[in-house]
A and B are shown apart, each in its own frame.
Chain A
Amino acid sequence: MPPNTRPFFKRITPPGISLLWLAVILAAISFLVAIIPIRGNDFWWQLKLGELIFNQRAIPTTNIFAWTLPPDHPFFYGAWLGELLLYLPHRLGGLELLIFVRNLLALAFFALVAYEARQRSGSWRIAAFVVLLFYVMALNNLTLRTQIWAWLPFMLIALVLHRFTSGQSSPGGYRQWLLLCPLLMLVWVNVHGSYILGLVLVGSYLVGEALRALFKQPGALGPAHIAWLGIASALTAAATLVNPRGIGIYTYFMGLMTDAPSQGLIAEWQSPSPNGIANLAFFVSILLLILVLAYSRYRPSLTDLLLILGFLWLAWSGQRYIVWFGAIAMPILAQGLAQIPNRLPVFTEQRSWLNAVIILLLFIPALLVQPWFVSSLPLPQSYWQIAYPGSPEGPLVGLDTPIEAAAYLKTHPGGRLFNEMGYGSYLIWALPDQGVFIDPRVELYPYEQWQDYIHISQGIQYAELLERYGADRVLLDVYLQAGLAEALASDPGWHMEFSTSRTQLWTRVEK
């Protein structure tokens, strides 16, 4: 029987053993991502915003929560759709469902990078290696926050553009797929500020391919294809205007890029240094790229070169961009690795349905650590020192979340509270009426207030500064604000009204 008339089930080929390599890596990544605790900072206030948007059917435009600023102080919630999307699964299935959604998105993200790496290199083993490297460098960017909604749009746009320009499709075959770019952008611009990278992607491809055509490089696209790229770029750029601020979204973006507190005080906006495992992996990946480009037969196209240079510069500018660099550069690295001349033996691909069974089995541990089951798993004790076992909010809540303190404050409300920044995020969710001194909406607060916050947290001139703001209660984290904890402990002007192993609540003594 000719192949194309065979029944469908006979046309499916069993997976080869090389796919097991990738399956092992993806399963491990799925497992590790699934047990990442929820860190206070960005999550809770974004969840509250989602709740507000859902209940009021409108996007807030002001401060609302901080007592140190007027409640009607303007603030633009650029990621409003991302916040709403955080709230909806939470409303449907609690924190468990939301965490599961994050896990699925992460798996899809890494799978897409692996797929692209495989397409470029022709090797699942090489794809597995680069995905592992990518995971390590992305370690600091997998927390639950609105950024998770940007992963898929980013990777899908990159995939579509590469397919269109790589000549892998029949002429015009991927033209329709280009329309996905503006459609994805419609969502992306409203879920997270990283939408600008979508424009960087389409722009890089457009410029790169135009230059290739101009210099008549082999494999360059024809004028019709470049015109299609141009149209897709224009539509994608136009799609960015479909947001509550219209073209003002760019003013917001520029404001964020030049916001002194964000750029100067927040670690993930700082340039990376070769310290910490994630950053080390990033720097090692650059060395690998240098090595591979030096010895591989692969010569990056002008477009690929623009992508590497552009995203590398971006990653050097801020640690939070490393994940995007990795998603773009690791498939290119894979392509280079595949073309390094070597005398390694060529293994024949052994295909078997047993491999499929093994792949399924590999994902069982990842299934078992999904949020509904994770608390009953025998994880090491050291893990439960960073995550809350049996918290009322749900599983995998980080121990830096002041759940007990918030419960205490619920029954003992009032006062003008100075709080640790991440605690401010949780208080916005759990006790929005309490009001916060400061929270992770970094660009909301003036630079001086952040400096005061840092000084108070270090116990430097805290009495004078708290007096100036009129704060009469302090909710601190003993690890992050050890200086303040020590100072208050010996200050007769304050007494401790509540404490846990990590949190302390102090009240000013009545004179």
Chain B
Amino acid sequence: MKQSEASRRSSRPRLVLGTDQLWPLIILAGFLFYVSLVPLPPNDFWWHLRIGEYIAHNQAVPTTNLFAWTIPADQPFFYAAWLGELLMYTAYQVGGVNLLTFIRTLLAGITFWIAGAEARRRSGSWRIAALALALAALMSLTVPLVRTQMWAWLPFVLFSALLARFTSGQLSPRWLLILPPLMAFWVNVHGSFILGLVLIGAYFAGEMLSALFGRVGQAQPRPLPWHNLAWLGGIGLLTALATLVNPRGIEIFGYVRSLLANSPVQDLVTEWQPPTPHGTANIIFYLSILAWFTAQAYTRFRPSPTDMLLTLGFLWLAWSGQRSVMWYGLVVMPILAQSLAGIPLKGLGTSPPRSRLNSLVALILFVPVLLVQPWLVERFPLPEVYWQQVLRGTPEAALLSAETPLAAANYLTEHPGGKMFQEMGYASYLIWVIPEQGVFADPRIELFTTQHWQDYIRISQGLQYNELLSKYGADRILLSSALQPALAEALQSDPCWQQEYQDQHTQIWARTQLPPASCP
């Protein structure tokens, strides 16, 4: 009797969930609900899409400026994320911007679910995994935009998960053969491919230390046998070789180095700046470090040398730039979960009974997420303050940021010409809609000099704008009323400029025909 009951239990579908499994699902559903509603800013999206289209039509990766009139059209530029751009365009061709937005949400969901599963594997507790997932998700709130970086999320978390399971003895070495082809993909979709090498390097170095010095504590698995270490080293070499499978070969590393040393990128772009304890995402990041300290004070868990290398390395990376906080979260929060599991607390180790009702609840949790997908979101009763951030009812796509100059671009299509100064994000959209118009500066930050960006900032602030615009020969301005209010205000009282177009968010100005003596 008991045997048949046991076999009935073991044959019960895994989809019957325990109550504690609902916790991470609640977190994930909440996170995906939020991600689904993030408006699509123009900055990093449209110019990537244009490059993807170029690649699809010309069967070649461009190598020059193409769009900015302020620098020679044939100025060299390396489109390192060419495959990411092509993938974006391919998805766009199939299902428009809405499909791309949905893919972003799907990728975010899978990525963070894998991270959550890793947290669960390490900690043995769904509740602790939920906490780790919440921290990882909250500190990544500013990251999940539709851009080429989204193609890197899955490779990153797969690298992390596969290496972690391999070194804990749960996967055979053959699974690591996934990594080199994954890297061959990653190196062509986004510059973060370098983190794949960082991960393998950290695992290899950490496991070497474990093998040399033995186990750190009772809670640690045995060090890797030497033949598995050899596998890890060999895969590391293959993965490093796979990075050469890109249009520039070994020069890809020079590109990464130059990006890290590029002054405008490092100094002027917020997400490249070190995080400060302001804003929800950054505060959660810093709180996670405090959580680490607290956990270490009470846990029985001793991190392995590998886990310590990962923690220290990705923490340093995150301190160096806000854009790296998400990678830190995906790698370190599962390790934190393991640490938290080592704190002797009553009740954490219990396994609540499974029930079909839990499964039903889990499904219901994701209904709101489905309802805010791009094809359906406009019918969802969201607060008015949210709708003020997005363009509602646009034929182009749902959830375009209100900072996308749709109407102004339509006007310019009918009234082209001139040498135009634009807001940077607007320039990205113009590259897509009217590439022949030309842009003053766009989000290809490293294409333009520091001086160019300083001039852009001064003009945007209404400082010496006449002098600077004359220096470049600009005779039209497309500005954002919200992002460039000082310039808008200065032009209002400037007889050298007349307004030719205005809508709720944008203004277009043209230089008047006053004599040169009157206007700089």
Q: Which residues of A contact B (CB under 8 A)?
A: 270-271, 273-275, 283, 286-287, 289-291, 293-295, 299-300, 305, 308-309, 312-313, 316-317, 455, 460-461
Residues of B with C-beta under 8 A to A455: 463
Interface string of B284-299 (1 = CB under 8 A from A): 0010011011101110
CB within 8 A of B315: which of A273, A287, A309, A317? A287
CB within 8 A of A309: which of B276, B293, B298, B308? B293
Whether the pair B320, A305 counts as a contact (CB closer than 8 A) is: no
CB within 8 A of B308: which of A273, A274, A294, A316? A294
B275: nearest chain-A partner, CB-CB: A271
A-B pairs, top 10 by smallest CB distance, nearest first, are A273-B274, A271-B276, A293-B296, A460-B463, A309-B290, A300-B297, A316-B277, A305-B297, A287-B312, A274-B319
Dominant SS among interface residues on chain B: helix
Interface residues of B in 279-319 (CB under 8 A from A): 286, 289-290, 292-294, 296-298, 302-303, 308, 311-312, 315-316, 319
CB within 8 A of B273: which of A273, A295, A299, A316? A273
Residues of A with C-beta under 8 A to B294: 305, 309
Residues of A with C-beta under 8 A to B311: 290
A460: nearest chain-B partner, CB-CB: B463
Whether the pair A290, B312 counts as a contact (CB closer than 8 A) is: yes
Residues of A with C-beta under 8 A to B505: none
CB within 8 A of B302: which of A275, A290, A294, A305? A294
Nearest chain B CB to A456's CB is how many angstroms away? 12
When chains A and B are docked, how far (Å) is the Cα of A93 from the Cα of B57?
Answer: 81
- What would 17 more interface pairs be, CB under 8 Å, given A287-B316, A309-B294? A271-B278, A273-B320, A274-B319, A287-B315, A290-B292, A290-B293, A290-B311, A291-B308, A294-B303, A299-B297, A308-B293, A309-B293, A313-B290, A316-B277, A460-B458, A460-B464, A461-B463
When chains A and B are docked, how far (Å) is the Cα of A300 from the Cα of B299?
Answer: 11
Whether the pair B316, A290 counts as a contact (CB closer than 8 A) is: no
Interface residues of B in 308-354 (CB under 8 A from A): 308, 311-312, 315-316, 319-320
Whether the pair B296, A290 counts as a contact (CB closer than 8 A) is: yes
When chains A and B are docked, how far (Å) is the Cα of A375 from the Cα of B296?
Answer: 51
Q: B216: CB under 8 A from chain A?
A: yes
When chains A and B are docked, how far (Å) is the Cα of A308 from the Cα of B291?
Answer: 12
B301: nearest chain-A partner, CB-CB: A294
Whether the pair A317, B463 counts as a contact (CB closer than 8 A) is: no
Residues of A with C-beta under 8 A to B292: 290
By CB atoms of chain A within 10 A, which of B296, B308, B316, B319 has the most? Answer: B296
When chains A and B are docked, how far (Å) is the Cα of A291 from the Cα of B293?
Answer: 10
CB within 8 A of A293: which of B277, B293, B458? B293
By CB atoms of chain B within 10 A, which of A293, A299, A317 has the most? Answer: A293
Residues A313 and B293 in contact in the complex (CB < 8 Å), given A274-B319, A291-B308: no
Residues of A with C-beta under 8 A to B302: 294-295
Q: Which residues of B contact A (CB under 8 A)?
A: 216, 273-274, 276-278, 286, 289-290, 292-294, 296-298, 302-303, 308, 311-312, 315-316, 319-320, 458, 463-464
When chains A and B are docked, how far (Å) is the Cα of A489 from the Cα of B169?
Answer: 71
Nearest chain A CB to B370's CB is how many angstroms away? 39
Residues of A with C-beta under 8 A to B315: 287, 290
Residues of A with C-beta under 8 A to B316: 274, 283, 287
Nearest chain A CB to B270's CB is how many angstroms away? 13
When chains A and B are docked, how far (Å) is the Cα of A274 from the Cα of B319?
Answer: 7
Nearest chain B CB to A265's CB is how many angstroms away? 15
Residues of A with C-beta under 8 A to B458: 460
Nearest chain B CB to A208's CB is how many angstroms away? 12
Residues of B with C-beta under 8 A to A461: 463-464
When chains A and B are docked, how far (Å) is the Cα of A287 from the Cα of B293?
Answer: 11
When chains A and B are docked, how far (Å) is the Cα of A317 from the Cα of B283?
Answer: 11
Chosen A-B contacts, 20 in total, with CB atoms closer than 8 Å, are A271-B278, A274-B274, A274-B319, A275-B274, A283-B316, A287-B312, A290-B293, A290-B308, A290-B312, A290-B315, A291-B312, A294-B303, A300-B297, A305-B297, A309-B293, A309-B294, A312-B289, A313-B277, A317-B277, A455-B463
B319: nearest chain-A partner, CB-CB: A274
CB within 8 A of B293: which of A274, A289, A295, A317? A289
Residues of B with C-beta under 8 A to A289: 293
A287: nearest chain-B partner, CB-CB: B312
Residues of B with C-beta under 8 A to A286: 289
Nearest chain B CB to A301's CB is how many angstroms away? 8
CB within 8 A of B319: which of A270, A283, A309, A312? A283
Nearest chain A CB to B260's CB is how many angstroms away? 13
Whether the pair B290, A299 counts as a contact (CB closer than 8 A) is: no
Residues of B with C-beta under 8 A to A283: 316, 319
When chains A and B are docked, how far (Å) is the Cα of A218 from the Cα of B348?
Answer: 24
Residues of B with C-beta under 8 A to A271: 274, 276-278
Whether the pair A274, B297 counts as a contact (CB closer than 8 A) is: no
When chains A and B are docked, how far (Å) is the Cα of A290 from the Cα of B311?
Answer: 9
When chains A and B are docked, how far (Å) is the Cα of A443 from the Cα of B216?
Answer: 53
Residues of B with C-beta under 8 A to A299: 297-298
Residues of A with C-beta under 8 A to B464: 460-461
When chains A and B are docked, how far (Å) is the Cα of A494 from the Cα of B278?
Answer: 44
Residues of B with C-beta under 8 A to A308: 293
Whether the pair B286, A316 counts as a contact (CB closer than 8 A) is: yes
Residues of A with C-beta under 8 A to B293: 289-290, 293, 305, 308-309, 312
Nearest chain B CB to A330's CB is how many angstroms away? 15
Nearest chain A CB to B122's CB is how many angstroms away? 15
B454: nearest chain-A partner, CB-CB: A458
When chains A and B are docked, how far (Å) is the Cα of A272 from the Cα of B296?
Answer: 24
Residues of A with C-beta under 8 A to B276: 270-271, 316
Nearest chain B CB to A378's CB is how many angstroms away? 38
A305: nearest chain-B partner, CB-CB: B297
When chains A and B are docked, how far (Å) is the Cα of A205 from the Cα of B262?
Answer: 47
Residues A273 and B319 in contact in the complex (CB < 8 Å), given A294-B302, A299-B297, A308-B293: yes
Whether the pair A313, B296 counts as a contact (CB closer than 8 A) is: no
When chains A and B are docked, how far (Å) is the Cα of A289 from the Cα of B274?
Answer: 20
Residues of B with C-beta under 8 A to A274: 274, 316, 319-320
Nearest chain A CB to B213's CB is how many angstroms away? 10
Residues of A with C-beta under 8 A to B319: 273-274, 283
When chains A and B are docked, how far (Å) is the Cα of A277 from the Cα of B481?
Answer: 41
A455: nearest chain-B partner, CB-CB: B463
A310: nearest chain-B partner, CB-CB: B290
When chains A and B are docked, how far (Å) is the Cα of A181 from the Cα of B320?
Answer: 39
B312: nearest chain-A partner, CB-CB: A287
CB within 8 A of B290: which of A293, A312, A460? A312
When chains A and B are docked, how far (Å) is the Cα of A287 from the Cα of B286?
Answer: 13
Nearest chain A CB to B217's CB is how many angstroms away? 8
Residues of B with C-beta under 8 A to A291: 308, 312
A304: nearest chain-B partner, CB-CB: B297
Residues of A with C-beta under 8 A to B298: 299
Residues of B with C-beta under 8 A to A309: 290, 293-294
Nearest chain A CB to B451's CB is how many angstroms away? 13
Residues of B with C-beta under 8 A to A317: 277
When chains A and B are docked, how far (Å) is the Cα of A275 from the Cα of B320?
Answer: 9
Nearest chain B CB to A75's CB is how many angstroms away? 28
When chains A and B are docked, how far (Å) is the Cα of A286 from the Cα of B289?
Answer: 10
Nearest chain A CB to B101's CB is how many angstroms away? 33
When chains A and B are docked, how far (Å) is the Cα of A313 from the Cα of B288?
Answer: 12
Nearest chain A CB to B150's CB is how many angstroms away? 27
B291: nearest chain-A partner, CB-CB: A309
When chains A and B are docked, how far (Å) is the Cα of A353 from the Cα of B456?
Answer: 69
When chains A and B are docked, how far (Å) is the Cα of A270 from the Cα of B273?
Answer: 13
When chains A and B are docked, how far (Å) is the Cα of A154 from the Cα of B408?
Answer: 60
CB within 8 A of A313: which of B273, B278, B286, B297? B286
When chains A and B are docked, how far (Å) is the Cα of A312 from the Cα of B296?
Answer: 16
Residues of A with C-beta under 8 A to B463: 455, 460-461
Residues of A with C-beta under 8 A to B303: 294
When chains A and B are docked, how far (Å) is the Cα of A306 from the Cα of B273?
Answer: 29
Nearest chain A CB to B380's CB is how many angstroms away? 37
Nearest chain B CB to A55's CB is how many angstroms away? 43
Residues of B with C-beta under 8 A to A270: 276
When chains A and B are docked, how far (Å) is the Cα of A114 from the Cα of B289?
Answer: 26
